[in-house]
Structure 1
Amino acid sequence: MNITAMIKLTISMAIFGSIGFFTIHTGIPAVELVFIRCICATLFLGSLWIATGGHKSEKWEKLEVGKTLICGVFIVLNWVFLFKAFEEMSISIAISIYNLAPIFVLILGAVLLAEKMTFGAILATIVCFIGSIFIVGIDNFTSINDFISSGFIWAILSAICYALTMFMSKTITGLSSYALTFIQTTVGIFMLAPFCDFSVFNGLTTSNWLYIAGTGLIHTGFVYYLFFDSIRNLSTVVVSVLVFVDPVVAILLDVILLSFRPTLFQVFGILLIFGAIIYTIYQPPQKTVISDEKG
């Protein structure tokens, strides 16, 4: 067991768990915040990539670069939708829905790759859907306008885009993590620049700028460095466990610092979602039955 790697990953997930708290204190909308985040990540990780000499050993293949560019679009949309969800709903609720991504990966595999979903996977999907209804509030499903303004759609879209990113990233094996992220964040800069309203940066306080810098340099640059530097030395099981530090920290900060008080139904919904996700990740592998029949 690589203790150093475990500590790095735990720190990176704990820091990332505070991104919602930082986001709502930046004073700027989602698109502009993600744009700044992409610039910071590109400069920070690009510098590390060059400083370590990793750029010299990269093997560039057209297919892999193409997939990475598409992943870049999905991951940028994932950030924009998540930050917009933070604008409309509690961080705890948005993060809970955002973490439905593993369930969506299962659904994508069934739809696009014709992979068979087990009974447990189908049950987990249904439980997550019920949990989502509980945490958003059943009353928000009685009116289309209330439902849209609840932020639920933004949170679901962020989870879907994150799932698409994970789904496509599985097929990218030739590029290093630094190259992968550098390309994706560069895509974000060119993708969002035409939609940015740069006037939102006028009149910001020193506190706003500190939170913006923190979101870009700490939550993107530093966290990604720790994340990529640690996961290579840890098993999939350990990584799967430690990534749950992120939502736990996010919910704790929401409750302690932002005075979020979930209702009993919301607590039940959060437990349903994370229980189903944990079951999906750690369910025992299916035994393969070999038939003796010939022909």
Structure 2
Amino acid sequence: MNVGSMIKLTISMAIFGSIGFFTTQTGLPAVELVFVRCICATIFLGGLWLLTGGHKTEVWERKEVLKTVLCGVFIVLNWVFLFKAFEVMSISIAISIYNLAPIFVLMLGSVFLAEKMGIRSICATVICFLGSILIVGIDSFTSIAQFLNSGFVWALLSAICYALTMFTSKTIQGMSSYALTFVQTMVGIVLLFPLSDFNAFTNLTNTNWLYILGTGFIHTGFVYYLFFDSIRDLPTVIVSVLVFVDPVVAILLDAIFLSFRPSFLQVAGIILIFGSILYTVFYPPQQAETVKSNSS
């Protein structure tokens, strides 16, 4: 168990939990906001890459670069779809649907990476997902039509792209985290430049720009460096559980800054999520199997 990578991933997910709040304060549509994020992240990561001298020792392999570009496409689509979901539905509900991603990752890992999913692993992930549902109160929807028209499709597409991002990045081992994220954000700039409406940047306030730069340098540059620097060293099960820190932070920010008071079910959801995280971290499947073998 790589404790350092676990801490990095937890920090990145905790910071990312505030992305919804920041996004709503930027005053920019999804495509334009993601475009600026990619520019900020490229500057941030490129600067660190140069300062550390990593660019001098970087090994470029054609197969790895192609995987990185593909991963970059998934990331950009993930961001655009998620921000479009924020435009038409509440942040909490969008984040809940977004957190279906680990379920997709576990499925992909079991099929393509031959990673075994024991009963404990499945239960921990399912409990986390049920906890996120309790937190955001999916039961508030009164009809299927209302649910589908509320941004569900955008959030689901974002979850799928997020899962593909995590799955693809686990197969990239040769490139450094700086090179990996730098190339991916460059892909975002190239993809979104012709699609951006630059009139959207007029009449923005200083506060808008503060939040825009925050989403670019912190939520994109810093967070995705931590994310990709940690994910390659952790098993899929651990990653799938730790990403649920994200919705918990989102709910806590709602409570602190927007005077939101959680219901009994939402409190129960938080307990389920953290309980499953602690169980998986301190009692992983390998450890469980070892204990069982020693006792028999």
- TM-score, normalised via structure 1 length: 0.78
**Which amino acid letter does the alignment assign opposite residue 205 of structure 1?**
T
Q: 1:171 corresponds to which residue?
A: 171
Q: Does the alignment pair 1:257 with 2:257?
A: yes
Q: 1:202 corresponds to which residue?
A: 202
Q: 1:88 corresponds to which residue?
A: 88
Deviation at 1:197?
Answer: 1.9
**Which amino acid letter does the alignment assign opposite residue 73 of structure 1?**
V
Contact 2:71 2:165 survives alignment (8 Å): yes
Question: What's the RMSD between the two structures over aligned residues?
Answer: 3.9
Q: 1:50 corresponds to which residue?
A: 50
Contact 1:85 1:151 survives alignment (8 Å): yes
Q: What residue ranges of structure 1 are gaps of 5+ in the alignment?
A: 291-295
**Which amino acid letter does the alignment assign opposite residue 29 of structure 1?**
P
Q: How does 1:149-228 map to 2 (within 5 A)?
A: 149-224=149-224
Distance in 1 between the 2:77 and 2:247 partners?
Answer: 20
**Which amino acid letter does the alignment assign opposite residue 183 of structure 1?**
V
1:216 alignment partner, SS class = helix
Deviation at 1:22?
Answer: 1.2
Deviation at 1:24?
Answer: 0.6
Question: Aligned residue pairs: how many?
Answer: 285
Distance in 1 between the 2:119 and 2:129 partners?
Answer: 16
1:251-278 alpha-carbon deviations (Å, 9 max, x no partner): 2111111233444445545555565566
Q: 1:140 corresponds to which residue?
A: 141
Q: What residue ranges of structure 2 are gaps of 5+ in the alignment?
A: none
Mark the CA change 1:246 to 1:114 in structure 2 (over 3 Å): closer, same or farther.
closer
Contact 2:121 2:285 survives alignment (8 Å): no
Contact 2:6 2:234 survives alignment (8 Å): no
Mark the CA change 1:129 to 1:22 in structure 2 (over 3 Å): closer, same or farther.
closer
**Which amino acid letter does the alignment assign opposite residue 104 of structure 2?**
F
Q: Does the alignment pair 1:34 with 2:34?
A: yes
Q: How does 1:274-293 map to 2 (within 5 A)?
A: 275=275, 283-285=284-286, 287=289
Aligned-residue sequence identity (percent) comes to: 69
**Which amino acid letter does the alignment assign opposite residue 196 of structure 2?**
C
Compare 275-284 and 40-49 and name the one that shifted more: 275-284
Distance in 1 between the 2:69 and 2:279 partners?
Answer: 32
Q: Does the alignment pair 1:66 with 2:79?
A: no
Deviation at 1:189?
Answer: 0.9
1:194 alignment partner, SS class = helix
Compare 43-52 and 280-289 and name the one that shifted more: 280-289
Compare 123-132 and 176-185 and name the one that shifted more: 123-132
Q: 1:105 corresponds to which residue?
A: 105
Distance in 2 between the 1:228 and 1:68 partners?
Answer: 11
- TM-score, normalised via structure 2 length: 0.78
1:214 alignment partner, SS class = helix
1:169-190 alpha-carbon deviations (Å, 9 max, x no partner): 1111110100000110011111
Higher helix share: 2
Compare 95-104 and 164-173 and name the one that shifted more: 95-104
